Amino acid sequence: MIEPLALVLGVALLGVTLWDVFETVIVPRPTPGWIRLGRYIVRSSWWILRSTLGPRDGPTRDRLLGLYAPAATILLLVTWLIGLIVGFGLVLFGLRASIEPHPDLGSALYFAASSVLTIGYGDIVATDGLARVVVIAAAASGLGIVALVVTFLFSLYGSYQRREASVVLLSAKTGVPSSAVGLLENLARMDLSHRLPEFLGEWERWEVEVLDSHVAYPILGYFRSSHDNLSWISALGTVLDTSTLLTTTILEIRRGQAELAISLGAHLVEDITNLGFRTGTASGIDREAFDEVHARLAAAGYRLVPADEAWPAFAATRSTYAERLEQMANYWAVPPVSWFGGRDPLRSVVHAQERSNGTAPSTVPTSVSAPEEARRAVD
């Protein structure tokens, strides 16, 4: 009775393990279902790590969270190999009459491990056709899973590098942490505000790639930026906030590309949060903060819709993505979407050098009706 039961349990465990590998690595789309070893391992271990590390841990916390995603990928490989070893071990134990010498459960697991890892010593030998087929299947499965995971890692790191290149490039335009108002102020100061539609077109393509890769392979969301105070979530929030300001508040810049970026970005945020990557609540933006940003954009030289008219449209548009985006930031413990921005590398480096050379630019006039500043915003 024990041997047939071991055979059934082994086949079931092999089916669950191989199905999880198939859905995690091979299928390029989300695969909901409750029989998912990898999903339980990744999400539960992430929850344990986040619960163990508090905000007061500082650099240690960030460093350990940054190591999590690569470690989780290796953990998946180890889990799948263990699943194969135990599954094939139970099957071989159920077929031990066809194996010499007849193994007990421990020896069957050892035989399965040496077969899966292709390091067999010949001390245990399958003598019957079915047992031999199982041993060959074990060796092929072990080699196949290792090869798939290596290929999977290359794919993950390729997507990660393409994602992060744009994030770092954005930080050079906005300051750290990135923000919509920082981006708009810098572009106005450099007389590049007319290129905003082109800029948002590039980020629309970035949104497409992130949507495709992060929904198909959700573990990518756990990979953190290698730079402090940067994350792909805050970068996405900066682009969406910039687009929202363009469509509701800023005049004389084409709005079509901004509307497309908002539509696709909201779709990206919705799809990822629907997979369960969200936690906590969102604080949102109040009218007082909006009025401050409105004044800063006016001082930068943009022609604006009056604040009383712009605020309802701005709040309605931002509500389509802001709450879910902040919940994503909470889940992955990354810097939240910044509204007012932070240190501006362009001000701290370029402008400090200009002041030291006696060539600092004059102060930008605060009047939004100044002809020169209005022309800057015209595309």
Cβ burial of 196 (10 Å; 0-12, 13-18, 19+) is: buried
Tokens representing 74? 């290796």
Claim to verify: residue 214 and residue 362 sit in the same structural domain: yes
Give the per-residue pLDDT at 72.
Answer: 92
Claim to verify: residue 135 and residue 193 sit in the same structural domain: no
Claim to verify: residue 215 and residue 364 sit in the same structural domain: yes
> Mind listing the pLDDT tens digit of every residue in the chain (379 residues)?
468 888 999 999 999 999 999 988 888 776 666 677 888 899 999 999 888 887 666 678 888 888 999 999 999 999 999 999 999 999 999 888 888 888 899 999 999 999 999 887 778 888 888 899 999 999 999 999 999 999 999 999 999 999 999 999 998 888 778 889 999 999 999 999 889 999 999 999 999 999 999 998 999 999 998 877 789 999 999 999 999 999 999 998 999 999 999 999 999 999 999 988 988 877 778 889 899 999 999 999 999 999 999 999 999 999 999 999 999 999 998 877 777 665 444 443 333 343 334 443 333 333 333 333 333 333 3
Half-sphere exposure of residue 323: CA atoms within 13 angstroms, side-chain side = 7
- The total of structural domains in the chain comes to 2
What one-character-per-residue DSSP string does 47-115 give? HHHHHHS-GGGTHHHHHHHHHHHHHHHHHHHHHHHHHHHHHHHHHHHHTGGGEESPP-HHHHHHHHHHH
Claim to verify: residue 87 and residue 196 sit in the same structural domain: no
Claim to verify: residue 108 and residue 28 sit in the same structural domain: yes
Tokens representing 175? 């300051």
Claim to verify: residue 131 and residue 8 sit in the same structural domain: yes
The answer to whether residue 161 sits within a structural domain is no
Claim to verify: residue 97 and residue 191 sit in the same structural domain: no
Claim to verify: residue 146 and residue 180 sit in the same structural domain: no
Claim to verify: residue 271 and residue 362 sit in the same structural domain: yes
The answer to whether residue 310 sits within a structural domain is yes
Domain hosting residue 270, numbered range: 175-376
Longest pairwise C-alpha distance within the chain: 93
Tokens representing 215? 């929904």
Beta bridge partners of 338: 179
What is d(CA 88, CA 302) in angstroms, rounded to the nearest whole number? 68
